[in-house]
Chain A
Amino acid sequence: MMKRSLALLGLTFSFCALACAQETTGDRIVVPARDTTHPRVVNAKVTFGSLTVKAYNGKEVIVESQSAPGARRLPETYQGLKRIDMPHGGLEVTEEDNTIRIRATDPHPGGLTISVPVDTSLQLSSVHGAINVEGVHGDIDASTVHSDVTLTNVSGTVLANSTHGTIRVSMNSVDPGKPLSFATVHGDIDVTLPAGVKLNVKASSVQGAIYSDFEIALGRGQPATERNTSGSGLYRINLDRTINGTINGGGVEASFRTVHGKILLRKK
C-alpha cells in the first residue's frame, strides 16, 4: 500500500515536472522540484561571468542568463523572413540525484542568476566572475579566482574562497558540527556572525591585521617549536602567526586566512 502510494506520488511529481518544465523558454530554465524530501544541491560552474544566487519563496530552481552577444550579431530579418531566436549555446543544465548541475562555458556578460528555495546547498565556482548569494540556508561552498565572494544573510555552513578578491559574509545562524572557512590571498575578509555564535577560531593574516567585535579568548596556540626526529638535536621554530582562540566558549571550527588583507569579525 505504502509502495503504491509512493509510486503514485512519483507519478504526480513527474507530471508536475513535465508541466513545470514547459516553462523552459528563452534564457530562463526552470528545474522543477522532483524530490523535496531532502534539500537540493545546486552545483554551478562558470568561467567568465558572475554567479548570483537568491533564495525565493518557491520550490523550483530557476536559472536565468542574459542573451549572448552572438545572437545580436545576426540581423533580425533576412529578405522578409523573420529570425527565430535560438537558445544560445554554452549553457548546460542537468539534474541527477537531486543535484542540479549548471555549466556555462561561453561568456555570459550579465552572468547567471539562480533562484533557489531557501533550503538549498550550493557549490559555486567562477574563474573571472563574482559570486553573490543571498538568503540561502545550507552548505555553501563558493569560490572564485579573480573576483569577490559576497554572501548576505545566509545561514548554515560556509566555505568561501578567493585568490584576488574580497570575502564578505554575513550569517544569520551557524549550523553546529561543520567547520567554517573564509580564505583569500590578495583581499580582505569581512565576516558578520550572530552575537551568540560559539566558535573555535583560527585566524591568520600575514601582512594585514585582525579586528574583532567579539571577545576572542586566546588559546595557548600551537607549540612554537617542533621536535626534530633526525637525531641532530636541533629544534625548528615555527613562526606561524595564526591566532587560536574561542568565541563564547568555543564550538564550531572557523578559519579565517588571508595573506595581503585584513580580517574583520563583526557581531550581528
Chain B
Amino acid sequence: MKRSLCLTLALFAVAATAQRNRDRDWWQYGDHETIRQTYTISSGSGPAKLLVDNISGFIHVTGGAGSQVKVSVERSTRAESNEALAAAKRDVKLDMSQQGNSVRLYEDGPFRSRDGVNYRGDNYYGYRVAFDYDIQVPTDIELVLKTINNGDIVVKRTSGAFDVHGLNGGIEMQEVSGYGTVYTLNGKVNVSFTKNPVKDSEFHTLNGTVDVHFQPGLDADLHFHTLNGGVYADFDVTAIPTPGSEKSNGMFVYRSSRRQMDGRAGKGGPQLSFNSLNGSIRLYSKGI
C-alpha cells in the first residue's frame, strides 16, 4: 500500500513536470536538427535488434521489406539563454551505434545516472531537448524501445519480439505479430495482432485503458489485474480458480486482497497478462 502511494506521488511529480515542460515552449532560444542514418542488417551477423533508449520525444517504428534500418531523428531544443542552448548542444547527445546486427540509439545527457534517469526538470537544466524518432526497420527485427516524456511509442507491422516501455505517454502497436512486454504508466495501451502471440506477453499501464485486438481463435492463459476498471472481452473466458499457493514461509494464500484473476481462452496457451490500475482492459478477437 505504502509502495503504491509512493508510486502515485512519484507519478504526480512526473505529471507536474510534464505540465511545466509544455509551459517551457515560450523559451525563445532554440534550434532544430535532423539526423539521418542508415544501418544495414547482414544475414550472417545474428538476429536483428533495435534498441532506442530515449528520454524525451516520440518513437515511431515501421516495419517493411528490405534489410536496412533507416533512422530519421528530429532533435529540437528550447533553452532559456544562448549559454543554455550551447550547454544543451554540448551535454545532450544522441549516441548512435551498430554492433553486429544490433542498432542502438541512446540519448545521453547530464540527467543520466549510473542506474537510470534522474531528470531534475527543465528549469534546473535551463533547456529541454526532445528527440523524435521515425525509424524504418526490417519486419522481423526485435525491438527494445524506451521513452519517458513528451511522446508516444507507435510500432507498425513488425513480427519480432518486443519490449516497449513508455512512462508518460501511450503505446500503440498496429499489425504486429510478435510477443513481449508493453509497459507504460500514464497512457493508453493499444495493440493489434495479425498473428496471436506464441510466447508469454504482458500489457501494462497504470492510468489508462488497455485495448488488445487478437486474431479469432485465441488459445491463451490470461491473467487480469485491475483496481478501478472493468475487464471486457468479446470471446469466452473461463475463469481459472486460484489454487491455494504455498509461499516459502509455509503460508497458503487462498485470496489476496488484490483485484486479479486468471482465465483461459480457447485451449489455453502462452500466459498473457493484462494490468491496468485505473483503467479498463478490453480484449477483442475479431481483428480490426
Contact = CB atoms under 8 A, between A and B. Distances in A.
Given A78-B232, A92-B257, A25 B239 contact: yes
B231 A86 contact: yes
Contacts of B229: 74
Given A81-B282, A83-B230, A84-B224, 20 more contacts: A21-B244, A23-B241, A24-B243, A31-B244, A74-B229, A81-B233, A82-B233, A84-B261, A86-B224, A86-B226, A87-B255, A89-B258, A89-B259, A91-B257, A92-B255, A92-B256, A93-B255, A94-B251, A94-B253, A94-B254
B280 interface: yes
B242 interface: yes
Contact of B255 (A24, A32, A80): A24
Interface of B: 224, 226-234, 237, 239, 241-244, 249-261, 263, 280, 282-284
6 contacts: A24-B244, A24-B255, A78-B230, A81-B234, A89-B257, A95-B252
A241 B120 CA distance: 70
Contacts of A87: 255, 259-261
- Which 8 A/B pairs are nearest by Cβ-Cβ distance? A81-B232, A74-B230, A93-B254, A96-B251, A93-B255, A84-B231, A24-B241, A89-B259
Nearest to A68: B259
A87 B284 CA distance: 22
Contacts of B280: 78
Contacts, number: 101
A29 interface: yes
Residue with the greatest number of chain A CB neighbours at <10 A, chosen from B224, B251, B257:
B257
Contacts of A82: 232-234
B282 A78 contact: yes
Contacts of B234: 80-82
B263 A84 contact: yes
A66 interface: no
A124 to B, nearest CB: 18
Given A78-B280, A78-B282, A94 B252 contact: yes
A23 B239 CA distance: 11
A17 B244 contact: yes
Nearest to B244: A21
Nearest to A90: B257
Residue with the greatest number of chain A CB neighbours at <10 A, chosen from B226, B241, B251:
B241
Contacts of B228: 70
Given A82-B233, A86-B259, A103-B257, A96 B242 contact: no
A95 B254 contact: yes
A83 B251 CA distance: 32
Contacts of A75: 230
A25 B230 CA distance: 18
A21 B253 CA distance: 11
Contacts of B226: 86
Contacts of B282: 78, 81
Contacts of A89: 227, 257-259
A97 interface: yes
A88 B251 contact: no
A22 B241 contact: yes
A70 to B, nearest CB: 8
A75 B230 CA distance: 8
Interface string A50-82: 000000000000010000001000110110111
Nearest to A30: B254
Contacts of B263: 84
A70 B252 CA distance: 27
B252 A84 contact: no
Given A22-B243, A86-B224, A86-B226, A29 B254 contact: yes
A117 B244 CA distance: 19
Contacts of A93: 253-255
